Amino acid sequence: MSTTEQRVAVVTGAARGIGAATAVRLAAEGRAVAVIDLDESACKDTVEKITASGGQALAVGADVSDEAQVEAAVARVVEELGAPTILVNNAGVLRDNLLFKMSVSDWDTVMNVHLRGSFLMTRACQKYMVDAGFGRIVNLSSSSALGNRGQVNYSAAKAGLQGFTKTLAKELGKFGITANAVAPGFIATEMTKATAERVGMGFEDFKAAAATQIPVQRVGEPEDVANAIAFFTGDAAGFVSGQVLYVAGGPLN
Ligand SMILES: NC(=O)c1ccc[n+]([C@@H]2O[C@H](COP(=O)([O-])OP(=O)(O)OC[C@H]3O[C@@H](n4cnc5c(N)ncnc54)[C@H](O)[C@@H]3O)[C@@H](O)[C@H]2O)c1
């Protein structure tokens, strides 16, 4: 079976960055794509990019950490695109700080978007995958899961998503559903641009400095991650489950 079978895919945080590139890539694979982000109007660019190339996409506004909004968003996807059998939990935020300066609110925000959000979205979508006897779940982890100064909240959430992924793989495998995690290193997006601003560096200098530490000597682009996600969501990846793939231009220590 080819990877081009029409299936409905949901990508969260898809208004920009890795999520937008993933939505566009999955649409190019023939998927009808629900582009979910906090603000429906912010999803317009991604949806237009997909429809301009002859694909099918739907913009949906939802906060993935809000149970009622997630239920409503998935119901709308089912109604307007069809039952989702591919889910990419990509929505994410940073609230970096050293432990002694980190507020409870910055801890909770990061846990809520990454962990609660992935849990709520996966719980809402899994029944359609079980009914179809087919499903592909990809969670966005990070190289920060291995530990990163100033990111005690984010690294805990991203490591948590690896455990979440492996447990999903074990629980859902018998229904034809796979779950994998993609763990990017440095990818050039608004997220890393904001980090550059926070540390007082120009984005180009920040990227150049990061590139010197990466074996392939460049930072990643959103499409580098989208390519890995396209593999995991393909029909041909049915025997690959519970894995964490670092997309980081080299191995990590
Ligand atoms: N950029 C990197 O270097 C990098 C590295 C490793 C992992 N990641 C992860 O990849 C994912 C995408 O990152 P990015 O760099 O494209 O970030 P980004 O900030 O460019 O995009 C994230 C998107 O998620 C959306 N979002 C945030 N909170 C949301 C919520 N509660 N509900 C719905 N949408 C929400 C934002 O509005 C935004 O459109 C994140 O999970 C991030 O942690 C990024």
Q: Regarding predicted confidence, which is higher, 222 or 4?
A: 222
pLDDT tens-digit profile of 24-46? Answer: 999 999 999 999 999 999 999 99
The catalytic residues are 154
pLDDT tens-digit profile of 232-248? Answer: 999 999 999 999 999 99
Spatial separation of the C-alpha atoms in residues 152 and 1, rounded to whole Å: 42
- Percent with pLDDT over 70 in the chain: 98
Q: Which residue type occupies 183?
A: A
Q: What is the dihedral of CA 137, 143, 148, 150, to 10 degrees?
A: -60
Q: Is the CB of 122 under 6 A from ligand 1?
A: no
Residue 209 CA to chain centroid, in angstroms? 25
Q: Is the CB of 187 under 6 A from ligand 1?
A: yes
Q: In the numeric block, which tokens belong to residue 114?
A: 């990454």
Quickly count: other Cβ atoms within 10 Å of residue 133's Cβ: 11
Give the position, in ligand 1's atom list, of the atom nearest the Cα of 64.
32
User: What is the overall mean pLDDT for the chain?
Assistant: 97
Q: Which residue type occupies 148?
A: N
31, 9 contact by CB (below 8 A):
yes
What is the whole-number distance in angstroms between the Cα of residue 69 and the centre of ligand 1?
18
**Edge to edge, what strands does the sheet with 32-37 contain?**
56-61, 32-37, 8-12, 84-89, 135-140, 177-184, 244-247
Q: Residue 2 — very low, low, confident or very high, per pLDDT cuts 50/70/90?
A: very low
Q: Whose CA is nearest to atom 11 of ligand 1?
A: 90
pLDDT tens-digit profile of 52-64? Answer: 999 999 999 999 9
Q: Is the CB of 228 under 6 A from ligand 1?
A: no
Phi, psi of 8 (to 5 degrees): -90, 125
> In the prediction, which pLDDT does 10 show?
98
> In the prediction, which pLDDT does 6 show?
74
Q: Residue 5 — very low, low, confident or very high, per pLDDT cuts 50/70/90?
A: low
Q: Residue 168 — very low, low, confident or very high, per pLDDT cuts 50/70/90?
A: very high
Spatial separation of the C-alpha atoms in residues 64 and 154, rounded to whole Å: 16
What is the whole-number distance in angstroms between the Cα of residue 167 and the centre of ligand 1?
23
> In the prediction, which pLDDT does 1 show?
41
Q: How far is CA 163 from CA 92, 157, 178, 180, 243, in A?
A: 17, 10, 14, 10, 10
What is the whole-number distance in angstroms between the Cα of residue 188 and the centre of ligand 1?
12
Give the position, in ligand 1's atom list, of the atom nearest the Cα of 219.
3
78, 1 contact by CB (below 8 A):
no
Give the position, in ligand 1's atom list, of the atom nearest the Cα of 17.
16
Calculate mean pLDDT across residues 178-194: 98
CATH number for domain 8-185+222-246, candidates 3.40.50.720, 3.30.930.10, 3.40.50.150, 3.20.20.10? 3.40.50.720
**Does the pLDDT value for residue 87 go beyond 50?**
yes
Residue position matching structure tokens 């050293």: 98
Q: Which residue type occupies 159?
A: A
What is the whole-number distance in angstroms between the Cα of residue 94 and the centre of ligand 1?
8
Q: Is the CB of 48 under 6 A from ligand 1?
A: no
Q: Is the CB of 180 under 6 A from ligand 1?
A: no
Q: Is the CB of 126 under 6 A from ligand 1?
A: no
Q: Is the CB of 84 under 6 A from ligand 1?
A: no
> In the prediction, which pLDDT does 24 show?
98
Q: Whose CA is nearest to atom 41 of ligand 1?
A: 92
What is the whole-number distance in angstroms between the Cα of residue 1 and the centre of ligand 1?
32
What is the whole-number distance in angstroms between the Cα of residue 92 and the centre of ligand 1?
4
Spatial separation of the C-alpha atoms in residues 205 and 202, rounded to whole Å: 5
Q: Is the CB of 184 under 6 A from ligand 1?
A: yes
pLDDT tens-digit profile of 189-213? Answer: 999 999 999 999 999 999 999 999 9
Domain boundaries, the chain: 8-185+222-246, 190-219
